[in-house]
Structure 1
Amino acid sequence: MRIDAPSTARDDLDRFWERTLAEFGPKPLNGRREKRDTPLQFVDAYRVTYEGFDATPLHGWFLLPAFVPQRNLPCVVHYHGYTGSSGFPEEYSQWLLMGLAVFAVDVRGQGGETGNLLPQTFGMTKGWITQGITDKERCYYRAIAVDSLKALEWAGEQPEIDPSRIAVVGSSQGGGLALIAAALSEKPALVLANIPNMCQMDFGLLNSTGSLTEAAEFVARFPDKLDQVLDTLSYFDLVNLADRIRIPALLSVGLKDTVCLPETIFAVYNRIPGPKTIRVYPFTGHAVVPGHNRLMLQFVREHFGLG
């Protein structure tokens, strides 16, 4: 579907991200991992703590298949959906059975074990995304974007991992973070973004039934802040970042999705210049169907040369 959304990029978009990457690139990860028992007999599981945007201890699972040599392994870095968490190791069994490592991370403050030390300097509406939403430098979106990039850095530094074969994967919020990581980092080799959020967010502010209703409620409460909110969102909107994605990309969209609206996903997809595929599900809402899950596995298997 050909949908060309207008760019909302501000003149300093490139300078903003150049400065952000320069600021946080040297920041120490302060990472550590501890072996944990799981019900999975052929998986080595480690609980990981690392730092991203600030001193918040970010948590995740680093998982290794124990039935193959643990060296030069391809790795999936997984970002979860809004309100979710990194969950339990068994949730990633399909990747492990393919012989891949997995690094599944919490998004700060949401449904996992990870807190949030980001300062709050103005009132919020329910949820997380309106924290700092009038200031692009201190907003929640900037924090979780940097957190996601630092997760890639941590994964690439592990001795068992082949840093040239890292895939970023996620659905909804996780799909949006996977695309942001693909746009802003050279570390991923593949991106798989299912029903991604953070696409054409000015349109979503008016029409989405998902997390952007929090921003809409904020603007309803503080109508004088609309221009500031739109300005902040523009720096994290994938419509304005998609042209940086040069690696193979697999996206999905449900034409009945009222959370991550199909027109917003097509608007982003059409701006990706690299090799790309989108799977369209006319009768699906905000969900990933089993058939698409298999396509994801095949996509990674093909591009990473797995036998």
Structure 2
Amino acid sequence: MTPGAADWKYEVNQPASVQVTVLKNDVPLEEVTIRYEFGPEMLAAEKKGTLKLKQGRGKIDIGTSREPGFRQLLVETEYRGKTYRNLVKVGFSPERIAPTVALPADFSAFWEAAKAEAAKVPMDAHLTFLPEHSTSTVDVYLVNLQHYKHGQRLYGFLCKPKAPGKYPVLFSPPGAGVKPAAPNTFFADQGFISLSTEIHGISPLLDAGTYKNLSNAFGDYMSVRLDDRDNYYYKSVYLSGIRAIDYLSSLPEFDGQNVVVTGGSQGGALAMVTAALDQRVKAVAAFYPALCDVTGYLHGRAGGWPHLLNARAAGTNNTPAKLRTIGYYDVVNFARQLTVPGFYSWGYNDNTCPPTSVYAAVNAVKAPKTVVIEPITGHWRFEETNQESMEWLRQQVGSSLFPIKKP
């Protein structure tokens, strides 16, 4: 799937085309017929059809967009009784995509009050050394903190370089789901004390079978109490980032000034939220953040994960109370508050966190930003981009004293 534009971007009202090639062993297949459909990203197709390829190749004109945004082409073909599919998305003036979500007038006051209330809860930290997860260079611990309300716990893995000294600290919130996790010593090997957390108050050391049962019991947590801005599920989750930094900042090995946050998907959203809420954060690196411009679907375009207002869910969630709550939790409104440098990266072929929603958030950031687009990627990134983000984070904290190590 090869867009006509080398960078997969067009201007508004400029026609777009995609060359489709069907290959086996990198050689075009003869006598291939494909089925295709195209239209606005994540919405109903505008056109469907079939095309017989010549020497395994053909071109499909997918139209244009009158507004900044994305269009997608879906293609499938049959070969020896099996169906093969692919997708490609192209952007139209994406740097001009504006958010659809409204900013509540009392947004800052709401979160300042929430932070003040949560700060009254003692941290009550418990630390358990995990020798089986530690390495020759990194000590790993299970951390158990109290946060948000008395009795509510936050679990995570703390990774500390064994070499004595003062270090910058790094908070790494998790992607979506209720699932087991393992410590990641990569950041500690780069010269950071890192804390990666679990957001549901469950020990990440539980076995996969137990987590599977818990996941079924939790269900779609991202919709829990969506009609109540003061008790929505994500309120405690957003505030947990501040408690994580409370803990990291209390460590005697902390260098006293350098705090960074990084994550992908839900973790990318939480990284941006934490950086907006906590003035101790010095830099943020976010990959394909979720929870961005969730209201996009109400304006004829894709909204962000968890797709609370798409055609399937809008009948349940498109209510005044729930829309009001969304305004206080949409990452776009935190992006508008950011004042620290940011590294942002995503791809175009992402149906989990669609690029339209991510652009809406990152375009709203007024702070200095480094944007790395890898159009071909979906809900994943290249290792080279991981390395680029790590080098960028190290520059933000002046970590030239620590040699760069690959995972």
Partner residue, 1:93: 185
- Aligned partner letter, 2:274: A
> Who wins on radius of gyration, i.e. which is larger?
2
- Aligned partner letter, 2:345: S
The gaps in structure 1 that reach 5 residues or longer are: 115-123
Structure 2 counterpart of 1:276, from 365, 369, 392: 369
Contact 1:86–1:104 (8 Å) recurs in 2 = no
Does residue 337 of structure 2 align to residue 244 of structure 1?
A: yes
Residues 155 and 243 of structure 1: is their aligned pair in 2 closer, same or farther, counting only changes over 3 Å? same
Residues 150 and 217 of structure 1: is their aligned pair in 2 closer, same or farther, counting only changes over 3 Å? farther
Partner residue, 1:108: 200
Partner residue, 2:174: 80
Structure 1 counterpart of 2:289, from 196, 200, 205: 196
Residues 34 and 188 of structure 1: is their aligned pair in 2 closer, same or farther, counting only changes over 3 Å? same
Q: Which has the higher contact order (CA 8 A, sep 6+)?
A: 1
Does residue 132 of structure 2 align to residue 28 of structure 1?
A: no
The gaps in structure 2 that reach 5 residues or longer are: 1-94, 207-216, 401-407
Partner residue, 1:64: 160
Tell me which protein shows more helix as a share of its residues. Answer: 1
Contact 1:257–1:285 (8 Å) recurs in 2 = yes
Partner residue, 2:10: none
Structure 1 counterpart of 2:237, from 135, 144, 159: 144
Task: After superposition, give the CA deviation of every residue in 1:230-259 in whole Å (9 maximum; x if it has no partner).
Answer: 111110112222122111100111111111
Distance 1:64 1:86 in 2: 21
1:86 Cα offset (Å):
7.3
Partner residue, 1:234: 327
Q: How many residues align?
A: 292
Partner residue, 1:133: 226
Task: After superposition, give the CA deviation of every residue in 1:30-79 in whole Å (9 maximum; x if it has no partner).
Answer: 1121212135222111110002222222111111111x21x321111111
Residues 126 and 216 of structure 1: is their aligned pair in 2 closer, same or farther, counting only changes over 3 Å? farther
Task: After superposition, give the CA deviation of every residue in 1:255-274 in whole Å (9 maximum; x if it has no partner).
Answer: 11111111211111122121
Tell me which protein shows more strand as a share of its residues. Answer: 2
1:184 Cα offset (Å):
0.8
SS in 2 for 1:10: coil
SS in 1 for 2:373: strand
Distance 1:215 1:126 in 2: 18
Contact 1:62–1:103 (8 Å) recurs in 2 = yes
Q: CA-atom RMSD, angstroms?
A: 2.5
Distance 2:271 2:306 in 1: 17
TM-score between the two structures when normalised by the length of structure 1: 0.87
SS in 1 for 2:331: coil
Distance 1:72 1:251 in 2: 28
Distance 2:373 2:108 in 1: 31
SS in 1 for 2:320: helix
- Aligned partner letter, 2:174: H
- Aligned partner letter, 2:156: G
Contact 1:204–1:261 (8 Å) recurs in 2 = no
Task: After superposition, give the CA deviation of every residue in 1:108-130 in whole Å (9 maximum; x if it has no partner).
Answer: 1689369xxxxxxxxx9932111
Runs of 4+ in 1 over 3 A off after TM superposition: 109-114, 204-210, 213-219
Distance 1:294 1:197 in 2: 22
Does residue 138 of structure 2 align to residue 46 of structure 1?
A: no
Q: Which stretch shifts more, 5-14 or 178-187?
A: 5-14
Distance 1:204 1:154 in 2: 38
1:96 Cα offset (Å):
1.8
Residues 38 and 214 of structure 1: is their aligned pair in 2 closer, same or farther, counting only changes over 3 Å? farther
Contact 1:125–1:217 (8 Å) recurs in 2 = no
Does residue 398 of structure 2 align to residue 305 of structure 1?
A: yes
